[in-house]
Amino acid sequence: MVNLQQQLQAALLQQLQHYPAGAARLVLAYSGGLDSQVLLDLLAPLCQELAIPLTAVHVHHGLNGQADNWAAFCQAQCQQRQVDFSLRYVKLTQLSNIEQQARTARYQALAEFVNTPHTLLLTAHHADDQLETVLLALKRGAGLTGLAAMPTVRAFAAGKLVRLLLGISRRQLFDYATSEQLTWLEDDSNQNIDFDRNFLRQQVTPTLKQRWPAILQTVSRSAQHLQHAAELADYYTEQALAQCLDASRLNLQQLSLLHPLQRDLVLRRWLALAGLNPETQWLTTLKQEVIYARQDAAPQLQLGQLQIRRYQHWLYCLAEVPERVTAKETILVVGQNLQLTSGLGRLCWHSEPMADALPVARDMPEFTLAFGLLSSRFKPAGRPAKPLKQWFKLWQVPPWQRARVPLLFQAGQLQVVAGYASAFAPSQADVWLSWQPA
C-alpha cells in the first residue's frame, strides 16, 4: 500500500507547487464511504507532516434514517486522526430528481469553505467514477465538454476543486482499506439501480471490466484527450467571442464571418454568460427564427426567465421585458447625482472629462428630466437637428430601450440624451454627465 500513499503524495505536491509555501488550505468532501474514508486516512498524516491545514466537511442530507449516525461516525473518525471536522445540514425541497438535487445542495454547502484562492476542495472521485461519468455523458448525448468528463482540477467557488484519485481504481481503494483495517459507511441507496449511476455500477461496468480489464485506463486516457480538445476549443471560442461582443450584445455581422461550427460555440458561450445551456434544438430555433429572420423583423425567443431579441445586426439577452417608464418629469440639478427609479440606473456628474461622460455647460443650473418624447428635435454639437427617433435609429438603439433613455431638457429644448450625445461642445463644458444603466 506504500505505492498508493506515494501516488497521493506526488499528486498533492504537484498541486501545492502552484501556491506559496504554507499558503494552501485543504477541504475534504467527506461522506464516510469507502472512497473518502481512504482519502482521509491517507491525507491526515501527510498534512500533519507537511503542516497543511485540513478540514473534513460532512454534508447531512437527511435522506436516510441513518444520517445522524453517519455524521457521528465521520466526526469520530476525524477526532481519531486529529483532523478538523465540520457538519453542514442541507434540506431538499423537491421529490423529483433527488440525485441531482442532493449533489447541487452538497456542492453549495462545500462552497462555503472554499472562500480563498489558496483553498483546495478535495473529492474522492476515482477511475471507476470517471468511467461511469463518460457512460452517462454518452447516454444523454453530451458534447465535447460532457464527454471530457471530470478534470483533475477545475475552478470552484473562490478556489479550486481537485480530484487526486482519478488515476486510482475503486479496487485499489478497497484493497488499501481492508489491509489497513479501516471501517467505512455503506449507503444502502447505492444498491438502488433506479438511479442511473448505480445501474451502471451494478449492472454495466463490471461486465465491461471483465471483458476489457484495461478499460479504466483507456477511458481515462480518452477523457483526457477530450479535455485537451475542449480547452483548445474554449481558447479559440473566447477569442472569437471577444471579436463579436460589444458590452453584452452580440454582433451578428462578426458572427457570420466565423466557421459555422465556431458560430455555435460562440453562441453557446455568449448564452452561458447569462447562465443558459440550451439544448441543440433550441439553438437551431434561435438561428432559424431570430438570427436568420428578415432584416426588417423584430424577432424574439423566450428561454425560461430570459428573452433573446434581435435588432438590426445585434443580438440581445434580456433578463425581463423592459417596462415602459411612467415617471413624471423630474428636475435634475447640475452637480447632484440622481438614482433613477424603475431600474434605470444612475446619473452622475463629474468635474473633469471621463470616458462615456457628456459635456454640459455649467451656466445651465438645472434640467428637466424626461423619458420617451421621441418626436423631440435634437441637435448634437456639430450635427444637424433631427427628431430623436431618427437619432436613435442612427445610434442603433433598440426600440425597447428608447423610452428608457434619460432626456435632459432646458426651456423646452432637448439638450442631452444621456449616454449618447450632448448639444454642448466640449469647449463649452465645465461639467460632464455620465449615465450608468442598471
**Co-location of 260 and 185 in the same domain:** no
318, 341, 356 - which closes a domain: 318
Range(s) of the domain holding residue 114: 2-211
281-299 as b/e: b if 16+ CB within 10 A: eeeeebeeebbeeeeeeeb
Q: What is the pLDDT of residues 33-75, one digit of tens each?
A: 999 999 999 999 999 998 999 999 999 987 788 889 999 999 9
Mean pLDDT of the chain: 89
As a whole number, mean pLDDT of residues 362-385 equals 86
Q: 417 in a domain, yes or no?
A: yes
Q: Which of 244, 298, 311 is nearest to 271 (CA)?
A: 244
Q: 162 in a domain, yes or no?
A: yes
CA distance 8 to 13: 9
266, 286, 318 - which closes a domain: 318
CA distance 251 to 291: 11
What pTM did the predictor assign?
0.73
Return the pLDDT at 324: 59
The answer to whether 270 touches 250, Cβ cutoff 8 Å, is yes
349 is written with which cell numbers? 456628474
Q: 217 in a domain, yes or no?
A: no
Count of structural domains within the chain: 3
Q: What is the pLDDT of residues 247-300, one digit of tens each?
A: 888 999 999 999 999 999 999 999 888 888 888 888 888 888 888 888 777 787
pLDDT tops 80 at residue 97: no
CA distance 204 to 209: 9
The residues with which 377 forms a beta bridge, in sequence order, are 387
